[in-house]
Amino acid sequence: MKKAIVFIGYLILVIGALSMLVPFLWLIAVSFMKESQIFSYPPSFIPAPFIADNYLNVFTTLPLFRFFMNSLLVAIVTTVFQVLFSSMAGYAFARSKFKYKDALFFMFLVTMMIPPQVNIIPLFFLMRELHWIDTYQALIVPGIFGGLGVFLMRQWFMSMSTEIEEAAKIDGCGILRTFFTIALPLATPAAVTLALFTFITTWNSFMWPLIVTNSVDITTLPVAIAQFKGTFRETIMWGELTACSVVCALPVIIVYLLGKKYFISDMLSGGIKE
């Protein structure tokens, strides 16, 4: 009876995984099809013939490489600074003692409860006053601070043993040296997990880049895909559109595969306990 329940559980998981994988496989298949085959009936999952013209067309007729590099630059810089600042703030909240620490941390938690759409208007006016509209600063700076990252890193640092840090202090290490040489390396799983969340969120961001960018030179890939019909084509070329979508999805998959080990480690361990 127990084996049957386990088998049913695994079967449900496999079915759920396949149901999420099939649309992505269909997207890849369509990106290698001719327009006539995409809407053929009955539908086919196998391109016949198998062509790469859709990818060649979007890279030769559109500034897709520029869009890709814009998104990559914004996502990488935002991720690096988000992890750095959140780790430093989380370590301060976990290890330092200062006045109103709990009240300040509560304010960080409150920011997590505010929908991002609420901040768009005041953020836009702030970017306008700073003359950052249609610049990389507007795309990067608002994303390098976040309550979720501070909360995640604080919880990890609070669960870490203090013995190594105390030994470092006895040896004469200051708080910054202790943080960068001991605490942060030990918090690698949490930092990588935060980096994954930040990179994926920034890479897929659509509304904010759409609002603060005007020129093609600074357009990010999700915005370019959404404007594929109205700006770059009079009619939708579905093969080319799906090719753009596949290109947009690849960095997210690669980043997740590279950080999967640390992500799973973070989920399972939850820190080094006392």
Spatial distance between the Cα atoms of 22 and 88, rounded to a whole number of angstroms: 41
Segment 60-84, tens digit of pLDDT: 877 888 999 999 999 999 999 999 9
Q: Among the residues of the chain, which ranges form H helices?
A: 2-31, 35-38, 53-61, 64-95, 101-112, 116-129, 136-140, 147-159, 163-170, 175-178, 184-186, 188-203, 207-212, 221-226, 238-269
The predicted model gives 204-228 an average pLDDT of 88
Segment 11-23, tens digit of pLDDT: 898 888 888 888 8
Share of the chain above pLDDT 90, in %: 29
> Where along the chain do its domains lie?
1-51, 54-269
Q: What is the pTM of this model?
A: 0.85
Spatial distance between the Cα atoms of 187 and 205, rounded to a whole number of angstroms: 27
Angle at 28 between CA 23 and CA 30, to 5 degrees: 90
pLDDT at residue 274, rounded to an integer: 44
pLDDT at residue 272, rounded to an integer: 43
CATH topology of domain 54-269: MetI-like fold (1.10.3720)
Using left for φ > 0, alpha for ψ between -120 and 50, and beta otherwise, residue 220 falls in beta
DSSP for 170-184 reads HTT--HHHHIIIIIH
